[in-house]
Amino acid sequence: MIVALARLKVKEGMANAFIEVAQELVTASRAEPGCLGYELLQEGPLQFSFLERYADAGAVEAHRKTEHFRTHGRKLGEFMEGRPDVIRLTAVDENGHS
């Protein structure tokens, strides 16, 4: 399993508009084959994170090529202060292998 945590800050006064578009992205992404989870999380008034879980690297690449990722990603960029900080993680199985 591949996990991505994208942390970002939203411009002052843009949180509600950001959440509206982000929820559309969440809904569409959850319907993708290979998507095991896609959550929008809020850390503070202007701090948000996307927590994404995928079956494998192929599912991650397929997500990045979807129309909803490209369209909503551009819209979300208008509300964000800078680029997101993205951390990619790989699950470790019971045998200690990733």
pLDDT digits (tens, 9 = 90+) for 15-37: 999 999 999 999 999 999 999 99
Compute φ and ψ for 40, nearest 5 degrees. Answer: -105, 125
Question: Would 17 be classed as within a structural domain?
Answer: yes
- Statement: the pTM of the whole predicted model exceeds 0.75: yes
- In this prediction, residue 51 carries a pLDDT of 98
Domain tally, the chain: 1
Which pLDDT tens digit goes with each residue over 36-83? 999 999 999 999 999 999 999 999 999 999 999 999 989 999 999 999
98 is a domain residue: no
**Is 58 inside a domain boundary?**
yes
Per the CB < 8 A criterion, the answer to whether 41 and 50 are in contact is yes
Strand partners, 37: 53
Residue 41 within a domain: yes
The overall longest dimension of the chain from CA atoms, in Å, is 47
Closest listed residue to residue 22, CA positions, set 3, 44, 2, 6: 6
**97 lies in a domain?**
no
Per-residue confidence (pLDDT) for residue 70, from 0 to 100: 94
Residue 73's CATH number: 3.30.70.100
Residue 95 lies in a domain: no
Domain extent, residue 11, equals 2-90
SS3 label, residue 5? strand
Is the residue at 53 inside a domain? Answer: yes
